[in-house]
Chain A
Amino acid sequence: MAVPGTPIDAPPPGIARLRRHEWLSVLSRAVRTRRGTVGLSLMALVVAIAVVGPFIAPNSPTEFVTAPFSGPAPGTPLGGDALGRDVLSRVLAGGWLILLMAAAATLFGVGAGAAAGISAAYLRGWADALIMRSVDVVLAFPSLVFALLLVSIIGPKLWLIVLAVGFSHAPQVARVLRSSTLDISERDFVKAVELQGVKPRLIMAREILPSLITPLTVEAGLRLTYSIIIVAGLSFLGFGQPPPAPNWGLMINENRIGLQLNPWGVVVPAALIAVLTIGTNTFSDAVARVALGVGRQAEEITPLEGHVLVAPR
């Protein structure tokens, strides 16, 4: 039943000319909510600093310019770090790789997970059992532990961290997408097309996949937040970029012994990471809310709702 007050603007007629890019409208409506605006602004702020930062840094991030843990001074507005390097320059230069790695890990994890989940639901039978058993196995490793295990075998390679983080997300994504797919494939509107003898592959592509794009969008947002957390966490533990590279996670660890002398070396990178993850999380929450509203209207409740509320990292 339509929610009272929803706009009913009849789109122009025509059969093939119209396609409803629902996820685009979900995104644009999410941006216009208060949470969406706040989330997106926070994200944009940190992304801007990370991307533009390396070009405007006053000093080289690896050059020793002042005394270790010296406080803010004219040339070094945020003071010096554990080795006397410029905190501001290291902050400006130390974010882009985290962003890149987190984005890549999300892409890989959501892609792999969606493929696994949708195929499990679609193929059913033994393929389903096999995929879901593997999902259980991967789930038995906490994400960070899984990455640590791989690092301990192969060494702290950046590509490995991307793969490990992505791979540890895949099971959660697979579970959500599998249950969404199963749920949708039992709907009457899918049965109506099955009754015509349309090939399962076509049913999948034309009837089911369009309905999955919204859960996929929400899932991607959620996983991006967790990817940032794990990628930065691994750097913090010393298994990311090796020193002397500037990296927000690594900086926090390097500078925390001098907290009482110059806290900026810890506070600023920690705050940037926090603002970034709060931003991504707030934005994906806004998307999820809008998406759920859309689902309700179509008399359709996906497993999203429970998932968004529940999923721990």
Chain B
Amino acid sequence: MIKALIFLLFKEMEGGCRIMATSNKNRMSVSEMIEQQKKKRKFFNQLERLIPSLLLIIASISVLTTIGIVYTLFAESVAFFRNVPILDFFTGTILKPLSQNPEFGVLPLLNGTIISTVIAMLVAGPIGMMSAIYLSEYAPDNVRRVLKPLLEILAGVPTIVYGFFAFTFVTPLLRMIFPSIEATNILSPGIIMGVMIIPMIASLSEDAMSSVPNSIREGALALGSTKLETTFKVVIPAALSGIIASFVLGISRAIGETMIVAIASGSSKNFTFDITQSMQTMTAYIVEVAGGEAAAGTTIYYSLYAVAFTLFVFTLIMNLLAKYISRKFREEY
């Protein structure tokens, strides 16, 4: 609707220009023609004044949605905490929502999320960073032009495919190294999440590094630095805020990742640090419960919101932390 109006507005302007161009022969002065057009364009002038308000309303949609989501999460979580004491929820190491005497400790889920994220970042961080360094500092132009889009294709693989791959390929492979590994375990989805995040870190870090002006590199090289010294002591510090941003996005992606862990890590709500065992993440729990028969109004139903709210707070803290870190280490150029 709005788009159509704006389109019409431009069309009208264009039309006006054309009239001016063709009526040249009639020797009508330009100011007269502008005067004529002015009358015609009264409606559009009115519209022009409304546009800021229209745009504001559209821009508020996402903000209002976010507020709505946070409000729902919060309100339903409050309902949950009426049934389960908040301290039990955050310190409980046992999660048995379907048992006769249900227990709702979130720690097994938090533990699963953190461990899978740490594994993913241990894989994605170094590999993504090295790829970014190669692409930005070492790769010849033609190699970069082929390699970067290829890397970004990896980011387009649906996560369900990754999950399937982790379950049917990586876990059997890991079994050769750790014979005792369970059929569903946290290690294999963790690794695969890392693989999934590599392109994100590589691509964003590469962008950050290649936007460091060449003159700065030349300055370092002219002082007798080797290429490696220039990269690690000048280029990376200069691009640090962008690099940190890419890591945070990677971490957020790992925390929020659902499909891979739901498939390859099973649904045991173990509170353990043994990565060869099955664990459940917060997201996988939400999938399991939402997919089961959780009747509205039951404690297990409300636990969904409590877990979701925890997840939300978790990512929020991550983002704030990242913002703080990247501001602190920022080297402006």
**Same assembly:** no
A residues contacting B by CB (< 8 A) are none
